[in-house]
Structure 1
């Protein structure tokens, strides 16, 4: 599942991001997740993937780094980025769920040909 092998140098950031999200969705589905939404946007935030892992709703941030010169994919998930994801998750919950449910924040990091899943990467509180 190498990201770099299937993308040329002229690909746009958008198409690279879409490919990374597709790879992450496939990776998680193979582990029993169900993808329920992609690219949920609200004012001030975005969630790449919203999944179900059993009864738990999982908000997934997908990060792609083709080159580690500025740090790996995980280094790009700053505190500010986490706050935006949490904000978007709150909006998603208000708009899409009728009852309380357990939630968590995971990250799928793609660094070149490597894929890493970070379960419970950060918390909302």
Structure 2
């Protein structure tokens, strides 16, 4: 991953975190890593723990950002979420997986689309 790609990803995660906070979510964690992968944002939406995958693209040359979340990525996210829940000692909580698509603009605010309960 190039430095530009990493910077774009971090920028998108900051935008997504702000978007979720402004939407009333409580942020429980960011960039949580384990052997199964990384969870971009872990949030709480009322009684539900929400694992958010953030995808950011500056252009649509390779398709919209949300299309980058494929079956293999979903499998890794589920496994990482299971690890996080086990380490957090949270049992019998509602769980949801969301995708946030961030499209930055050279001038003006970024566009954010929030896909709730994607998988």
Q: TM-score, normalised by structure 2?
A: 0.89
SS of the equivalent of 2:117 reads: strand
SS of the equivalent of 1:71 reads: coil
Gaps of 5+ in 1: 1-10
Gaps of 5+ in 2: 105-109
* Aligned counterpart, 1:75: 67
RMSD, matched Cα: 1.5
* Aligned counterpart, 1:3: none
1:65 CA drift (Å): 1.0
Question: Structure 2: how far apart are the matches of 1:69 and 1:18?
Answer: 20
Deviations 1:4-32 (A, max 9, x none): xxxxxxx6222221111111010010010
Q: 1:92 aligns with which of 72, 75, 84?
A: 84
Question: Structure 2: how far apart are the matches of 1:89 and 1:99?
Answer: 12
Question: Structure 1: how far apart are the matches of 2:71 and 2:91?
Answer: 28
Q: Which runs of 4+ in 1 moved over 4 A?
A: none
2:109 matches 1:117:
no
2:99 matches 1:102:
no
Q: TM-score, normalised by structure 1?
A: 0.85
